[in-house]
Structures are given as structure tokens and as C-alpha cells.
Amino acid sequence: MEYNFSEIEKKWRQFWADHKTFKAEDNSSKPKYYVLDMFPYPSGAGLHVGHPLGYIASDIYARYKRLKGYNVLHPMGYDSFGLPAEQYAIQTGQHPAITTEQNISRYRDQLDKIGFSFDWDREVRTSDPRYYKWTQWIFKQIFNSWYNLKSNKAEDISTLIAAFESNGNTGIEAVTEFTETFTAGEWKNYSEKTQSDILMEYRLAYLADSWVNWCPALGTVLANDEVINGLSERGGHPVEQKLMRQWSMRIKAYAERLITGLDTIDWTDAIKDIQRNWIGKSRGASVFFPLWKACPDKNSSGGTEEEGSLADNKKGGQTDHTIEVFTTRPDTIFGVSFMVLAPEHPLVDEITTTEYKDVVDAYKTAASLKSERDRQADVKNITGQFTGAYVLHPFSGEKIPVWIGDYVLASYGTGAVMAVPCGDQRDWDFATHFNIPVKNIFENTDISEGAYTEKEGIIADSDFLSGLPVKKAMVIAIAKIEELGIGKGKTNYRLRDAIFSRQRYWGEPFPVYYKNDIPYLVDDAHLPVELPEVNKYLPTEDGEPPLARAGKSAWKYFEGDRMEYNTMPGWAGSSFYYLRYMDPHNDNEFVSKDKADYWNQVDLYIGGSEHATGHLLYSRFWCKFLYDRGYISFDEPFKKLINQGMILGRSSFVYRVDFATIDNDTPEKTTFNTGLIDFTIFVSKEKINASINNEIFSILKKRDFYFNGFTIEGFSPIHVDISLVDNDKLDVEAFKMWRSEFANAEFILEDDGSYTCGSEVEKMSKSKFNVQTPDELVEKFGADTLRMYEMFLGPLEQTKPWDTKGINGVHNFLRKLWRLFYENGNLIVTDAPASKEALKTLHKTIKKVEDDLERFSFNTNVSNLMICVNELTEQKCHSKEILKQVVILLAPYAPHTAEELWSEALGNRAGTVSTAQFPAFSPEMLVEANTVYPVSFNGKMRFNAELPTTFSAKEVEEAVLAMPETQKWLEGKTPKKMIVVPGRIVNIVV
């Protein structure tokens, strides 16, 4: 029998499907193991070779665990709500559900061809109403919860309402921005609307006016993790800040637990650090600075009034007439020489004096017109404006000028900073730029060229802090601040609440309706609230989201004055899918408690690191919430996480000749390509630096184009589809046909008549025409070769460029393996007992394969199998006893080939190798009579000495010293010292 991989693979895929070989049992006496991949968004481009990398690794591990006797849950599904299907719908009118369905079936075809051992009976799709019913249901639970700081967990909102009814909100410690107090009596007398508004301040899913990242091009808000350098992650459109009424998730309530939880899970430090950084915990103090003037508006006499003393000002009231700042350096409080507020700070208008009103307004307007990107790009430009107002230093009583400046962010801390130019570079720059006097409070430091930003040294000139080291001064400053009641120690987080609404069509509708402007939840009995049909997928003319186009009758369920028009963000459905896989067909619960307890945490999760601050953080948040509310019994979803590296593509370029007109009046050049010359000229890469002007001129002449008033401007690289390029040589005719505008292009070729393309390693993308799909490789070499090759490429976590150069090596390995079983099509497996050598090879391999799998070293395992087959080939081993075990070792990597050999060559007709038992390693098989010792002199290895394994260190020493080679290397000298590590090495110091 020949190694006919395409028939073998087809046959076994069918077998697995027919026999449901990989079905996971919810009840089993076996230990459980849950291996999960990040489910894909089914894009129109299909899978490229980068997608399966992680899937292959997890599949190998899942198959290995089955062989090791585990009950393995290894599911797959689709994150099928998302922007591209909606954009396509806007352009073509085709319903996103149809596009999505088509893309999913393409993905499924591609996935199937690679031979994954998924339990497809558990497939989920986030856009399926039977799935998003539970997304909506979880939203309801979050809406109906508040965060109790006393129990440090989320609790049902009814416990809060009960407390309000008996005691008002005094004594409540909750995560909220709400600062007013009310009594039980007041609560009961509030209108339903007021009660609803107050509860909204406590709910973990809430509606609020918040500054959001608004992307006009996409017509929707974006979460912080969807904005990169001020541009949208998808499409790269500009993003601006806008105040909008939006649904948010109070993820800040979990900030601390999201940090501490990281210590309980096995993720790389890189990802943990990204999350810690994103949450951005900083310790410090909030301090209240009293305003110098009570209220300038009420006192038009401006600066003529007497300066109040600190004590007098304090009497004026801490709430109305103070500005709160957050600082991580309370030890530097005596170095404060001015204060800066964010331009959007709510007190700015109130404190600005009449004299400065116009300039402050002008500054505010200028700041508000800047996009997020401009503001970030403008970092080096120092801008700011004095407001005319002063605060008083809470300790010294000194007058401190109040400025506004856009280096202070409204959304971080209190939106106000106490500026300490001697200890903070930004404050120093600001002070220097505006000539504000700088006070130095650090002993023996020079701040003439910049701030002293080290968190060490001795504080000077600072009243009760003078002479103290920085770290001690921090503690004492906070204590004193708290003692005087002018502030308190505080922990601040950079993490912001997550905006949860999107102005899109293709997402989960909210289970929410409005009546008299009060939001109400749709009853569980009416879930899911299904997406209504709309005539267009665009926002309405007055800027409402697309769902506002749906009339009352378009909704299968409608209540109140209107339904919620927003839909949920992409991360909603992906935040609990790992739980749904445990119980995917349950109509009564999102997952039954029994099944959630049984399958428990995901033991191994594999996916890209690009989800570090999005999906992985949100999933942890929801998991902790569901844990708090008692639906599951673990509060971290993913026990071990591996981030597979990205596979980059190799793009190819052709080089277009660009021309320019020369305008005699102005020296500027204008590039044109097709305007005056209706054909394009491409230059082969190797010719770019040669003198080719004559060649170009003769082409122009040939085409009857007379060249005057133009010059050759340069050469632009243009991406060309990699399927038209072989080994950097362009198929010129295919290229002309590829894009019609190049049909009559001209080419300047190499001397040998070929066209050489340039190349670059970049991310794979449709627009770069460098996408390598797995399909053609499966076709050419088979899925087993592809699987092994992707693993052989290098460590899983590493980013690596795709290159098919080595794929033959892996393919040849499988053929070589085949030849251990068949010679010229005849079965040559024997029942003869295995040789000692063969047993040694086998057991060496068992140990290595197992060890390497346990540490997820998939690449080295391919070599282990290669070495095994090389050795067995050399030994001419065709023993069934050995080969049977080898096939099991191979099965996770090359499952189709393994199945075929198992059933046909080894005669296990009825069974499948997928449920075989992983071979046991016997150390005694590796015991040798002799050990080879490398002998080194001064650490340099000189020769090998074969000595009996049973020799003690002393015996080894004596035997080595007696060897002629030793005498040669000693050159007559006496060894100073001899190190013998039994079984390993001998080193002689001369």
C-alpha cells in the first residue's frame, strides 16, 4: 500500500464524524480536562495558515490527554457578531446573518480538512438567538446587581433596595460615584424615575452620560481597547471624545480582584503585566485644596478683597470651595507651586475670574476641538492657561495659582493635579514654559536642567517632613493629611468602566425597553429579544442607531414606549462562551451548576495575545461576577493560558515607475501615473539601481508618447498577489490578467528575461495579497504534514514568518515512517520480538514525547519523532510490538496517518488509535552497561571515554587518568584538580 494521504485523510475524517469519536461525556469516571481555543470571527477571507497554529497545538494536546485517559472537552464555535458582516450588509444590502452563515460554512470546511478532534455537537455561535438569549440573561443579572464593599462582592440589587427602605443610603459601602445621602423616608417619597436614577448609580450595568470614544466613520462608540493611537482598531478611522448616554459595565469594582487574581493563574508574565498595566493601580493620596476666594462670581470686586487666612477659608466649607487632587507623591506636598485642572474639569467655569473668562473659554474650546490623536501627537507642545483663581496650600496657607492645561486628563484621578515642578518632569516643563517659580524640596539635588524624579533622597524645606527619606515622608504625609481631615490615602486605578453599547445592527439587542424614559428589563419569559429586521443597516437620519429603523411590528417582542436601540459590543458574547460549551443545549440555564462544577475551569486556553486587554479581561470580570452571584464555583476562567505567536506573511512587490511634471514657475513636482500615460511601467527589483532611463524612454517612444517636461520621480512598491510569484519571480502574464488596469503594462526585466519581485515580512492581510491559506497545502501534502510542519516551525509562542521551504522535510518524514510498515506496497510488519536497540529507541522516545508535551514544546516533539523513525529505519525494525507504540506516540500529531497504520498495518480493524492508551515508559530499557564520558581539560572538551556505568566517581577518575589521551593532553603536567560528575562529565584542571 502506498502512502495516499488524501484518501487516508478523507476516510478517517468520515470515520470520526460517523462514530462521534471525540464526543465529551458530561459524566465520566475519568478525570476531566478542558482544552479551549479562542473561537474565531468568521471573516470573509477564510482561514489563513496563522489561524490553525494555535488550534493544531491545542488539538495535539487534547488528543494526548485522551490517550492519557482523560475525559477531554475540546469544543469549537464562532464569535459571529461583528463589524465586517455589517459593513458588507451596508454596501450590498445582504443580511449579515446570510453572510455570516456562508463564512461559517467555509470555516467549517477548512477546519474539517485539518483533522481537528472537536466535539462539534457542542458548537456555539454568538449570533444564534439560542445563544444570545443567555448573553441577554447575564446582562440582566449584572444590571440587577450592585457591588457591596463590605462583603467585597456583587449582590442582588434587592438587598440594596431593602437597605434604602430601612436606613436610606447611610452606612452603605458600595462602588458608586454617587455622593449624596438620603434617609429611608426620603427614599420612599422619591418618584419612580428618581429611584430608578439613583439605583442606576449603583448597578453594575448602568446607563450614564460618559465621555466615550466616538468614531464618526464607523458611526459608533468604541471601548478603550478598541482604540489604538487615537484610531479605531478596525479600519483605522479617527476617534474623538464625545459625551453620550451609554450603557457601561462597572468593571472598576473588580479592579483590585482582577489584579490579585492574576497570582492564582498560570499565564505568562508578559500578559499578566499587560493586564496589571492596563488596570494601572497607583497608591497615593487625595488632598483637598481650599479656594482662596469663596466664589469670584458673587464678588465682582475681584482681587481687592482681603486675603482670607487658611482657617477662615476652611470655615467657608470643604465641599463647595475646595479642589480635590490625586497625587502619588504626598511627600512632595511642600513643593507645590501651582495647580492644573483638566480643561473639562467641572469647576473651571465656576472658579475662573471675570478677567480671565475669555482666554479660559478660548483655551477650553481649542482643547475640545482637538481629537484624541491630535492631543497625543501634540505631547511636546506645552499649552495651558491661568484662570485667575488661587487655592491655599493646606499646610502652609500659601497662595497657589490655578491653571488649566490639557496635559491633565479629566478622566484620570480627580482631573486635577498639584504641580510639583521639582519632582515631576511634566510639571517642571510647564513651570519653565510659563515662568512659574519653582521650589526645590530635595536635599542636594540640581533641578536647573530638569526635575528630580527618583523616589529616593531626603526631603528638605518641608515643615514636618524635612529631613525624612522620601518613602518615609510619604507615609507620614498621608497620616498627617488624614489627621487634619484635608484628604486621605487612596488607591487609584487607570482602568475605566467599560462602555457596553454600540450603535450597530449586527450585535445582541439589549433585553431593555423604555417607558416614560425609565429603562425596564424584559422578563425572562420573553428572552431572547431577537434582532428585528430593518430596511437599512445604517443609522437613522437623526443619528439614532440602526435598530431605531425597526417599527413596533418588526420586533418579535415589544414593550413600553420603545425598545433599546443600542446593541451589545463584540466582547459580550465571548465573555462566557467557555461556560456555554459545557451545556450548550440547555434551554433553562446558561449552564447547569452540575456541569459547570464538573468541567470547571478551562485547563488550557490557547489564543493570540492581542486579546490581553479586551476579551481576557472582560471574561475574567464576568467570571468573577458569576462567581459572586453563585452561578459558578470558580472565579478565574482560564487556568493556563498560552499565547501562540503570530504567523507573518511574506509580501511580494512590483515596482511602478512614477513620473513627475516639472513646472517651471514652482519647483514642486506632480506625480501622475495613468492620467497622461495610459499604461504602467514596472521595473524588476534588481534593475532599480541600474541606469534604466534609456529603457524607459524607449518604451515611451514605442508607445508614441513623447517625453518632454517630465522626469522619472521614483519607484513605488505595489503589493502583488503571492500566488503570481514563485521564488521571487513574477509570472508576468498572470499578473497582467490579475488586474485589468495592468493588462497593457510594460516591464523592464532582468538580463535573463525574468521579473524579480521585492519582498517584505508583514502581517497577513487580504489587502496585502500575502495570505497563505492552509487549503492548498493540505491538497498538496496532506493535513498531517501541515499539522506537523506548523508545529515544527518553532516554539508556539514565537512570532514567525511563514515559509514553506521546510515542508518537504516533514512530508518526507511521514513517508519514511510509512516505509517502516510497507515496502513497495507490501506489508512488512513482523511479529518477531523487538531488539534491545529498538526497545531503547522506543522508550527514549516515549519519555521525550511525554516530557515535551507536558511543557508544551510541540516543535521539539516533531524532532523526537523524526529521530525515532530515523533510528528504527537504521535498525531495520519492523516489529509490531515497537511500531504499535510508535503509532500511538504519533497519533496526536499526524492522526490520519496514525489511524490508517493502526487499523490496516497493525490489524486493529475495529478500533481507533484515538482511544488507545499512551505507552508507559520503562526506565530500565535505557540502562546501558557503559557510559560515555566527555573528558574536558580546563573546561574544553577533548575526547570521549567509554566506562562501565557502575563505576563510582573515584573509579572514573582513576580510569580516565590512566588513559593515553589524558597523558597526551596533560603534556607532562600534574592535574591540579579533577571534577567527576557521575554519569555526566569529567573535567581536569591543569
Partner RNA sequence: GCGGAUGUGGUGAAAUUGGUAGACACGCCAGACUUAGGAUCUGGUGCCGAGAGGUGUGCGGGUUCGAGUCCCUCCAUCCGCACCA
Under rule CB under 7 A, which residues in 323-362 are in contact with RNA?
325-329, 342
Peptide bond just before 795 cis, omega within 30 deg: no
Burial class (CB in 10 A: 0-12, 13-18, 19+), 418: buried
User: Could you give the residue ranges of the DSSP H alpha helices within 559-614?
Assistant: 571-574, 577-580, 593-599
Instruction: Using alpha carbons, list the distances in angstroms from residue 844 to 837, 867, 874.
Output: 10, 10, 16
- Applying CB under 7 A, does 813 fall inside the site for RNA? yes
Cell numbers found for residue 424: 515631576
Question: Any idea which residue has 520621480 for its cell?
Answer: 713
Three-class SS state of 214: strand
Residue range at the interface with RNA (CB under 7 A); choices 23-31, 654-662, 848-856, 885-893: 848-856
Q: Which of 369, 372, 340 is nearest to 215 (CA)?
A: 372
Residue range at the interface with RNA (CB under 7 A); choices 72-80, 357-365, 545-553, 809-817: 809-817
- Least Å distance between CB 333 and RNA? 11
Q: Contacting RNA (CB under 7 A), which of 102, 282, 661, 754? A: 282
Q: What does the H/E/C string look like for 125-175?
A: ECCCHHHHHHHHHHHHHHHCEEEECCCCEEEEHHHHHHHHHHHCCCCCCEC
Q: Contacting RNA (CB under 7 A), which of 68, 234, 242, 816? A: 816
Q: Which of 749, 664, 665 is nearest to 710 (CA)?
A: 664
761/827 with CB nearer RNA: 761
Residue range at the interface with RNA (CB under 7 A); choices 472-480, 600-608, 652-660, 856-864: 856-864
- Applying CB under 7 A, does 376 fall inside the site for RNA? yes
Tell which positions 218-257 bind RNA, by CB under 7 A: 224-225, 228
- Least Å distance between CB 149 and RNA? 22
- Least Å distance between CB 812 and RNA? 4
Q: Contacting RNA (CB under 7 A), which of 339, 616, 793, 829? A: 793
Instruction: Using alpha carbons, list the distances in angstroms from residue 159 to 164, 197, 629, 637, 875.
Output: 9, 17, 13, 27, 75
- Least Å distance between CB 846 and RNA? 12
Q: Contacting RNA (CB under 7 A), which of 857, 881, 908, 947? A: 857
The C-alpha atoms of residue 162 and residue 300 are separated, in whole angstroms, by 49
- Applying CB under 7 A, does 866 fall inside the site for RNA? yes
- Applying CB under 7 A, does 863 fall inside the site for RNA? yes
Tell which positions 736-765 bind RNA, by CB under 7 A: none
- Applying CB under 7 A, does 934 fall inside the site for RNA? yes
Residue range at the interface with RNA (CB under 7 A); choices 541-549, 802-810, 910-918, 946-954: 802-810
The C-alpha atoms of residue 439 and residue 420 are separated, in whole angstroms, by 8
Q: Which of 140, 16, 139 is nearest to 915 (CA)?
A: 16
The C-alpha atoms of residue 593 and residue 598 are separated, in whole angstroms, by 8
520/943 with CB nearer RNA: 943
β-strand partners of 212:
242
742/789 with CB nearer RNA: 789
- Mind giving me the DSSP string for 79-125? ----HHHHHHHHHH---HHHHHHHHHHHHHHHHHHTT----GGG--B
143/789 with CB nearer RNA: 789
String of contacts with RNA for each residue 895-924, x by CB under 7 A: ------------------------------
Tell which positions 481-540 bind RNA, by CB under 7 A: 492, 494
**Other C-beta atoms lying within 10 Å of the C-beta of residue 24:** 22
Tell which positions 535-594 bind RNA, by CB under 7 A: none
- Applying CB under 7 A, does 979 fall inside the site for RNA? yes
The C-alpha atoms of residue 567 and residue 776 are separated, in whole angstroms, by 39
- Least Å distance between CB 256 and RNA? 16
Residue range at the interface with RNA (CB under 7 A); choices 14-22, 464-472, 571-579, 790-798: 790-798
β-strand partners of 475:
none
8/793 with CB nearer RNA: 793
String of contacts with RNA for each residue 604-633, x by CB under 7 A: -----x--xx--------------------
- Applying CB under 7 A, does 269 fall inside the site for RNA? yes
The C-alpha atoms of residue 249 and residue 154 are separated, in whole angstroms, by 13
- Applying CB under 7 A, does 414 fall inside the site for RNA? yes
Residues 6+ apart with CB under 8 A from 132: 81, 126, 508, 528, 573
Q: Which of 721, 741, 744 is nearest to 731 (CA)?
A: 721
Three-class SS state of 467: coil
- Least Å distance between CB 41 and RNA? 18
656/816 with CB nearer RNA: 816
423/573 with CB nearer RNA: 423
The C-alpha atoms of residue 979 and residue 985 are separated, in whole angstroms, by 8
- Applying CB under 7 A, does 181 fall inside the site for RNA? no
586/936 with CB nearer RNA: 936
- Applying CB under 7 A, does 402 fall inside the site for RNA? no
174/849 with CB nearer RNA: 849
- Least Å distance between CB 813 and RNA? 6
Q: Contacting RNA (CB under 7 A), which of 417, 657, 771, 786? A: 417
Q: What does the H/E/C string look like for 370-410?
A: CCHHHHHHCCCCCCCEEEEEEEECCCCCCEEEEEECCCCCC
- Applying CB under 7 A, does 381 fall inside the site for RNA? yes
